[in-house]
């Protein structure tokens, strides 16, 4: 297993620890900061594994499959924890997770047709805003509540815009489906 794939797996392994610190309060007053640190480190492994894989030509089928799955597991786990804690409305999380399922299904159909659909800039912006939103919500700093709300709405809008952009650019994927 190469280094980018090890980083991807490390991200997956960090998720249960993140959830434990988010929801149990283990670590007392420091639990939110521990969970925030785990989330940030896990998020940074996403940037690092992709960079290393492309730079050193270490892209593998395992990585192509596991990297986006690890990202979805991390982000969805964080948002579900935040719903449990009352920091984000469930309907927003449902919209965000639904987008991920739709795109994953679309990619599966494209893959069956021998096509690989790369992530768009809209998708990258969406991911960035979701990660920032999650960090702000984990930190839960009162002085940043307005900023947190703005970032949440921007992340939601980018989620919908990136979905529409993705579907419009790749609508031909469904033409051969009956």
pLDDT tens-digit map of 41-82: 999 998 898 889 889 999 888 888 888 889 999 999 999 999
Q: What is the CATH number of domain 3-174?
A: 1.20.120.1760
On whether the CB atoms of residues 2 and 9 are closer than 8 A, the answer is no
pTM of the full structure: 0.90
Q: Which of 25-34, 56-65, 67-76, 107-116 has the lowest mean pLDDT?
A: 107-116
On whether the CB atoms of residues 152 and 133 are closer than 8 A, the answer is yes
| CA gap 134, 39 in Å, rounded | 9
**What's residue 24's pLDDT?**
94
On whether the CB atoms of residues 64 and 118 are closer than 8 A, the answer is no
Domain residue spans in the chain? 3-174
Q: Which of 84-93, 109-118, 158-167 has the lowest mean pLDDT?
A: 109-118
Cα 157-134-138 angle, rounded to 5 deg: 145
118-129 residue pLDDT tens = 778 898 899 999
| CA gap 147, 143 in Å, rounded | 9
DSSP string, 129-175: HHHHHHHHHHHT-GGGHHHHHHHHHHHHHHHHHHHHHHHHHTGGGGT
Task: For residue 113, give the H/E element and its range.
Answer: none
The set of residues, in sequence order, having a beta carbon less than 8 Å from that of 109 and lying 6+ positions away, is 173, 174, 177
DSSP string, 30-99: GHHHHHHHHHHHHHHHHHHHHHHHHHTT---HHHHHHHHHHHHHHHHHHHHHHHHTTSS-HHHHHHHHHH
């Amino acid at each position: 297993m190469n280094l980018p794939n090890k980083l991807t797996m490390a991200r997956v392994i960090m998720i249960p620890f993140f959830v434990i610190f988010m929801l149990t309060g283990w670590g007392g007053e420091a639990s939110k900061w521990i969970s925030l640190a785990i989330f940030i480190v896990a998020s940074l492994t996403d940037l690092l594994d992709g960079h290393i894989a492309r730079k050193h030509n270490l892209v593998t089928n395992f990585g192509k499959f596991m990297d986006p799955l690890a990202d979805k597991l991390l982000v969805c786990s964080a948002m579900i924890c935040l719903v449990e804690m009352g920091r984000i409305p469930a309907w927003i999380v449902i919209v965000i997770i639904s987008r991920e399922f739709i795109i994953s299904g679309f990619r599966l159909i494209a893959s069956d047709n021998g096509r690989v659909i790369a992530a768009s800039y809209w998708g990258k912006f969406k991911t960035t805003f979701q990660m920032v939103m999650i960090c702000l919500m984990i930190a839960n700093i009162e002085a940043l509540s307005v900023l947190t709300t703005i970032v949440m709405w921007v992340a939601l809008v980018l989620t919908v815009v990136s979905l529409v952009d993705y579907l419009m650019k790749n609508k031909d994927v469904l033409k051969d489906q009956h």
